[in-house]
A and B are shown apart, each in its own frame.
Chain A
Amino acid sequence: LTEIDKKQDRSPVPSAFEYAPAPESRDVVKLEDRYGLFIGGDFVEPRSGEFHPSVSPSSEEELAEVAYGGAEDVDAAVVAARAAFENGWPSWPATERAKVIYRIARILQERAREFAVLESLDGGKPIRESRDVDLPLAAAHFFYYAGWADKLEYAFPNRTPRPLGVAAQIIPWNFPMLMLAWKVAPALAAGNTVVLKPAETTPLTALLFADVLRQAAVPPGVVNIVTGDGRAGSELVKHPDVDKVAFTGSTEVGKEIQRAVAGTKKKLTLELGGKAANVIFDDAPLDQAVEGIVNGIYFNQGHVCCAGSRLLVQESIYDQTIQKLKRRMSNLRVGDPLDKNTDVGAINSKAQLERIQELVKSGEEEGADVFQPECRLPEKGWWFAPTVFTNVAQSYRIAQEEIFGPVLSVLTFRTPDEAVEKANNTPYGLAAGVWTEKGSRILSMSQRLRAGVVWANTYNRFDPTSPFGGYKESGFGREGGLHGLEAYVRFD
C-alpha cells in the first residue's frame, strides 16, 4: 500500500452515505406454499414425488416448496411440448404468434414490481437491479422478438427459416427472469415450443411466469417449466425428442452438455463462463472508469458471466486508480436486497459462498494483497463483502478462474500490446472493457480483444437488439439481436 492508501483505509465511511432503511414492500408478491411442475398448461404433481424449499439467500427463509422433476417429469414436459408443436403453434399465423408474445411483454411490464420483488427475495439481488435492469430488459426482450415472429423471412436473406421443434432451455440463477426472456422469447418467435429448466436456487419467478402465460393465453404446452436440480437438466439434454438445447451456465457443465449432444442432430448454443478484462489506459476519464470498474465487478454481487473480474490498469495511473477504487468501494452499501439503497445484495447460495471463499483464500495463499472495505454484513443469510486483490500474477487462480462473486483481481500493464496479451490470456472470451479517451485506440483494442462483447468507456450494458455471447470456451451462438434468432431456426 502507498501512504495515501493507508490514509484512505483508516478514514471512516463518510456520514453523507448513511441512509435510513428503505425496504420495498413484499406485499405485492403472493406465493403458494408449494409448486408443482408447469406442464401442458397446468401445474401438475411431479412424478418424482420430490419437493425442496426455495430459500431466500438474504434471510435463509423458506419461501415455498418447489418440485424437483425427474426423468418421467422431463419426458412428460417434452411430450407436451411436442404435442403443442404438432398441434399448430408453428403454423399459427405469424402475426397472431407475434401478438401473443407482445402480450407477454406487456404483462411483464404491468406486473414488473411483483416480479422484481420476487426476484430479489428468491435470488438475493438488490431490488434496484431487479427493478431497473432485470425486469425492464426481460419485457423488452419479449417485445423485440415478438416483432420478429412475422418477419422471419427478412432476417435471413435467400434462406427459408423453419422452427426447430422442441427447445430445451436451461438457465442460471444469476438473472433468472432475464435469462428466461433471452431463451423463451426468440424460441417462441421462431415457432418452437419450450421446456424450460430454471436454476435450482431461483425457480420462483419462472413459476410466476406460468401465470403470465395464462394471462397472455399462450396455448397449453407451448412453454413447459420443469424445476429441479442438475438431474432434471441432464435428463432434458439427453431426451431423444428434443431438437434444440440452449444452456447458460458454467463452462464445466457446458462441456458436459456438448458431449451429451455429440452424435445427435440437436442444435446447440452455449453461453458459458468468463473472466473478462477491464482495461484502463492512462488517458481514461478516471472517475468514470472507476464507476465502470465497480459496475463491472460488483453489479449483481459479481454473479455475472461477463463481470469485469480482471482489472488491467496502466502502470502510470495505478496508484491513483486503486486509491479511487478503494474509496468508492467504501461507499458501497451491502445488505438487504429489498432495500432500495442497497448496492450489493446476498450471495445466491451457500455453495456459491463457499466457492468464493475458497478462491479468495487461494488468492491470499498465492500471495496477492486483499482489501475489503469495512461493512457490517447481516447475521443471517450468505454474504461476501466487496473485495479487491492487488499484486496479482497472471498465473494465480484468482486471475484465471471464474469466481462469480464480488471479487476483483488487479493486474497492470505498460503498453497496449501487453494489455492485449494479458487480457486474452484465459480460455474464456466472453467480454472485455476498454477505457481511454483516444478513439483510434478504442477501435484497435476492440479489434484485438478476443471477446464476444467489448464495452468501450462503459460496462455491463445489455439490450435485446444487441447480440451477446462468447468466443473460445465462453461458448457459441448469440442471444439477442437478429443473430439470436438463428439459434432457433433451421433452413430448408
Chain B
Amino acid sequence: LTRLPVAKTYKLFIGGAFPRSESGRSYEIEGANVALGSRKDVRDAVRAAREAFPKWAGMTAYNRGQVLYRVAEIMEGRRAQFEELIGDQAEVDAAIDTWVWYAGWADKLAQVLGTSNPVAGPYFNFTIPEPTGVAGIVAPEESPLLGLVERVAPALVGGNVVVVLASERRPLAAITLAEVLATSDVPGGAVNVLTGRKSELCPVLAGHMDVNALDLAGSVGDSTELERLAADNVKRVVRNGDGYSPWHAAAFLELKTVWHPIGV
C-alpha cells in the first residue's frame, strides 16, 4: 500500500488565523473544498484589518520594507508549491519579484510623493503621504497569484491594511500565499484573504462603512453598483490603477499637509 498524501483544508485567512467560513459553507473548485465566505466573514475581516492598522501603519518604513521583502524570501522557498498550483513558473517568478520591487518602495514613497511647500509667509510647510486605512481589494480572476500580489503589495507597502477577495475560479494560490504572509512577520490582520462568490461578497465590501478604499480590478461584470455603494462613506475607488508603479501605491495614500510658524 502506497502512502496516502495528507490533503490541505483551504480556509479563510482572518486576523492572522485560518478559520473556516462562519457560515460553514464550502465550494468545490480546483480539486479542493474551498471556504465559501459569507457576509459576516467580510465584516470580521474588516474588523481584524482595522485592529491591525495602527501596528502596520505605525512601523517604520524600513521595517515595513523588510517585512515585505521577507514575504518574497518565504515565497521563494515555497515556489514549487505555487508552481504546482498555478502551473506557470513565470507567474511565480513575477509574483516574487513584485514583492521585492514594492518592498523597496516602503521608504521611498514619502520622498517621491511628498513635498516641501514654499508658502508665501513665515511658515514651515510640508506634505507627506499616509495610509488611507482599510483597503478592500477584489483580486483579478486571471493570474490568480500575480494578479493578487500586484494589487495587494502596492496597497500594503504604504501602510494600509487589506481585505482581499481571491479569484473565485482559482482561489488556492491566494490561500497558499496567506500561509506565506502568516510566516513573514506581517502582523495578523494586516492582510486578510477571503474566498467565495464575488457576487455575494463584493457588495458587502463595497458598502462597508469601515473600508476606506476599494480596488475593483477583479470585480466581475458591471461595477457601477459597487461604485455607488462605495460612495456611502466616500471610499477611494481604484478602477484600473496605475500598473506597476508607485502611483498605484499612491491611490491608497492620503496626503497630509502640516503647517508651523517660523519665529524666534
Query: What is the interface of chain A, defined by CB distance below 8 A to chain B?
Result: 140, 157-159, 251, 254-256, 258-259, 262-263, 270, 272, 427, 442, 446-447, 451-458, 461, 463, 465-469, 471-476, 478, 481-483, 491
A262-B115 contact in complex given A272-B234, A453-B259, C-beta closer than 8 Å: no
A473-B255 contact in complex given A262-B228, A466-B119, A483-B127, C-beta closer than 8 Å: no
CB <8 Å contact, A471 and B259: no
Contacts of B257 in A (CB 8 A): 452-454, 466-468, 481
CB <8 Å contact, A454 and B231: no
Complex Cα distance A456/B233, Å? Answer: 28
A263-B223 contact in complex given A442-B260, A482-B115, C-beta closer than 8 Å: yes
CB <8 Å contact, B233 and A262: no
Closest chain-A Cβ to B216's Cβ sits at a distance in Å of 11
Contacts of A472 in B (CB 8 A): 212, 233-234
Contacts of A463 in B (CB 8 A): 117, 119-121, 123, 125
Partner of A451 from the list B117, B127, B223, B256 (CB cut-off 8 Å) is B256
A461-B123 contact in complex given A442-B260, A476-B236, C-beta closer than 8 Å: yes
Closest chain-A Cβ to B43's Cβ sits at a distance in Å of 18
A461-B259 contact in complex given A263-B223, A472-B234, A481-B117, C-beta closer than 8 Å: yes
Instruction: Give residues of chain B (119-146) contacting chain A, Cβ–Cβ below 8 Å.
Output: 119-121, 123, 125, 127, 130, 132
Query: Could you list 25 A-B pairs, sorted by A, with CB under 8 Å?
Result: A251-B234, A254-B234, A255-B231, A255-B232, A256-B231, A259-B231, A262-B228, A263-B227, A272-B234, A427-B233, A442-B260, A446-B256, A453-B257, A454-B258, A455-B258, A456-B258, A458-B259, A463-B119, A463-B121, A465-B119, A466-B125, A468-B257, A473-B234, A476-B236, A481-B257
Complex Cα distance A95/B144, Å? Answer: 47
Contacts of B125 in A (CB 8 A): 463, 465-466
CB <8 Å contact, B132 and A457: no
CB <8 Å contact, B259 and A454: yes
Closest chain-A Cβ to B11's Cβ sits at a distance in Å of 33
Interface size bracket, B side: 35 or more
Complex Cα distance A157/B119, Å? Answer: 23
Is B112 an interface position by the 8 A CB rule? Answer: yes
Interface string of B145-166 (1 = CB under 8 A from A): 0000000000000000000000
CB <8 Å contact, B123 and A467: no
CB <8 Å contact, A483 and B255: yes
Query: What is the interface of chain B, defined by CB distance below 8 A to chain A?
Result: 112, 115, 117-121, 123, 125, 127, 130, 132, 212, 222-225, 227-228, 230-234, 236, 242, 245, 247, 254-261
Contacts of B112 in A (CB 8 A): 157
Complex Cα distance A478/B253, Å? Answer: 12
Closest chain-B Cβ to A257's Cβ sits at a distance in Å of 8
Contacts of A254 in B (CB 8 A): 234
Contacts of B259 in A (CB 8 A): 453-456, 458, 461, 466
Complex Cα distance A476/B242, Å? Answer: 17
CB <8 Å contact, B255 and A478: yes
CB <8 Å contact, B212 and A457: no
Complex Cα distance A458/B118, Å? Answer: 17
Closest chain-B Cβ to A464's Cβ sits at a distance in Å of 8
CB <8 Å contact, A475 and B234: yes
Closest chain-B Cβ to A441's Cβ sits at a distance in Å of 12
Top 3 closest A-B pairs, CB basis? A263-B224, A262-B227, A258-B231
Closest chain-B Cβ to A351's Cβ sits at a distance in Å of 24
Closest chain-B Cβ to A320's Cβ sits at a distance in Å of 22
Contacts of B256 in A (CB 8 A): 446, 451-454, 471
Closest chain-A Cβ to B63's Cβ sits at a distance in Å of 16
Contacts of A455 in B (CB 8 A): 258-259
A140-B120 contact in complex given A262-B228, A263-B224, A442-B260, C-beta closer than 8 Å: yes
